[in-house]
Amino acid sequence: MARRKDQIKLGAFLLFTGHHVAAWRHPQASVGTEFENYLELAKLAEAAKFDTIFFADGVAARLKDVDAASRKAHNGIYPFEPITLLSALSSVTKKVGLIATASTSYSDPYNLARQFASLDRLSGGRAGWNLVTSSDPDAAYNFGHDAQILHGDRYDRAEEFADVVLGLWDSWEDDAFIRDRENGRYFDPEKMHRLDHQGHHFKVRGPLNIPRSPQGRPVLVQAGASESGKELAARTAEAIFAAQITLDEAKAFYADVKGRLGKYGRSPDDLKILPGIFPVVGRSEAEAQDKFEALQELIQPEVGLNLLSQLSGVDLRSYPLDGPVPLNPPVTNAGKSRQELVLDLARRENLTIRQLYLRIAGARGHWQVVGTPSQIADVMEERFENYGADGFNIMAPIMPGGLADFINLVVPELRRRSLFRHEYEGSTLRENLGLKRPPNRFSAGNAVAAE
């Protein structure tokens, strides 16, 4: 197989204590939740020339099992709303991309389009929106619902939501604001485009009241891997945060999603697939394993069981910890792809409930690698060169040390192999990810009907 001509893209998925479920108990993990803690992480990522920093989000505290929740740092409780946080970080960074999660299930498309357009302009064209549909059943109760929105309905709404936001981001052509003092014309009305969307879920006139940014519009990111999620990503997304464990799974997902792009008039280069990787790095195999085991020993059974119940969509508290995982649960209305991934892992390795939560406690179903810098670079290179990924979202086990370890030990090895940049290619997120700047759909010679 010929070596790929492009290079690996890297994102830093930032959770304030680290991604391991017991990270906050580790003596070297930061439990700080102030802006300065996030500023330190953002500067680490930018100095290492990472493409992006990324923040997850939720709109409900997960407190159904209060005792278990009280033992975890991450229960849908976030120190900051991510668009607000990234707006602040945009003023103290220059090149790194800024990606925030926002739900289509409990947001309004006009407000969301405006918020991300504003972040994009504040940052000089570095914003990205991670589009999700909220699978957390508790979120529904915070927005006037009596029950969780059904999976199919969530994606139906998300499809239309994405169309509205993308249309609003094209409200103004790049040169619409002429600011002609002599003739008293601030903008050219021919280059303003009202959306006039009327659909099943939304009725939005437009235009958006914010001009386009240097990169045209924010990068659209997607995270779902269900059939509905993959189809939505193939039609609209420019990056996917994926979760596959084995190389074969990663290659199959990569080929599947990229193979869907053609029917929407898109090319494989229009979409970057960036799976999560949970790397535990040591200067020797023994050191790496010791680091990992030190975290594993901090997992309380209540916490592991709570995490597994959330990801599988099944309340497992009544099952024996050392008994088999129920592999034929009732149909869930939660995240379908993550449930399938977790249960497939249990089935493939014949794991008990305890063994399964220990296997996913670090990466929550993402790819977990424990080893030396060379070993971690080897498997990243293998997955990249075999078209299982275009890059990786780094999920450091503890913060800030786990991210610093990856940067100080693995990044130089990737550079030695010419797999990762030494300097940024440009100043916008699109330039650094290798994505085209999108033309305005309504401009002369490019007009298309808004869907």
The pLDDT-based confidence of 392 (bands split at 50, 70, 90) is very high
pLDDT band per the 50, 70, 90 thresholds, residue 336: low
Provide, rounded to the nearest whole percent, the portion of the chain with pLDDT above 90. 68
State what percent of residues in the chain have pLDDT above 70.
96
Averaged pLDDT, 365-394? 96
pLDDT higher than 60, residue 450 = no
Mean local confidence (pLDDT), 96-110:
96
How high is the pLDDT of residue 448?
47
Q: Which of 81-90, 107-116, 150-159 has the lowest mean pLDDT?
A: 150-159
Asked whether residue 310 carries a pLDDT value surpassing 70, the answer given is yes
Mean pLDDT across 160-167: 97
pTM of the predicted structure, to 2 decimals = 0.91
pLDDT, mean of residues 84-97: 98
- Given this model, what pLDDT does residue 138 score? 84
Query: What is the per-residue pLDDT for 447?
Result: 53
Instruction: Render pLDDT for 218-249 as a digit per residue (tens, 0 to 9).
Output: 999 998 778 888 999 999 999 999 988 899 99
pLDDT score of 236: 95
pLDDT band at 217 (very low <50, low <70, confident <90, very high): very high
Please give the average per-residue pLDDT across 82-103, as a whole number.
Answer: 97
pLDDT, position 167: 97
Domains of the chain: 9-283+365-433 (3.20.20.30), 300-360 (no CATH)
Query: What secondary structure, in 3-state letters, does the chain show?
Result: CCCCCCCCEEEEECCCCCCCCCHHHCCCCCCCCCHHHHHHHHHHHHHCCCCEEEECCCCCCCCCCHHHHCCCCCCCCCCCCHHHHHHHHHCCCCCCEEEEEEECCCCCHHHHHHHHHHHHHHCCCCEEEEEECCCCHHHHHHCCCCCCCCHHHHHHHHHHHHHHHHHHCCCECCCCCCCECCCCECCCHHHECCCCEECCCCEECCCCCCCCECCECCEEEECCCCHHHHHHHHHHCCEECCCCCCHHHHHHHHHHHHHCHHHHCCCHHHCEECCEEEEEECCCHHHHHHHHHHHHCCCCHHHHHHHHHHHHCCCCCCCCCCCECCCCCCCCCCCHHHHHHHHHHHHHHCCEHHHHHHHHCCCCCCEEEEECHHHHHHHHHHHHHCCCCCEEEECCCCCCHHHHHHHHHHHHHHHHCCCCCCCCCCCCHHHHHCCCCCCCCCCCCCCCCCC
User: Which pLDDT score is estimated for 451?
Assistant: 40
More reliable by pLDDT, 176 or 60: 176
Q: Which of 4-8, 151-155, 315-319, 345-349 has the highest mean pLDDT?
A: 4-8
For range 109-117, the mean pLDDT: 98
Report whether pLDDT(150) > 50: yes
Model confidence at 449, pLDDT cuts 50, 70, 90, reads: very low
Mean model confidence pLDDT for the chain: 91
Whether the per-residue pLDDT at 213 is higher than 90: the answer is yes
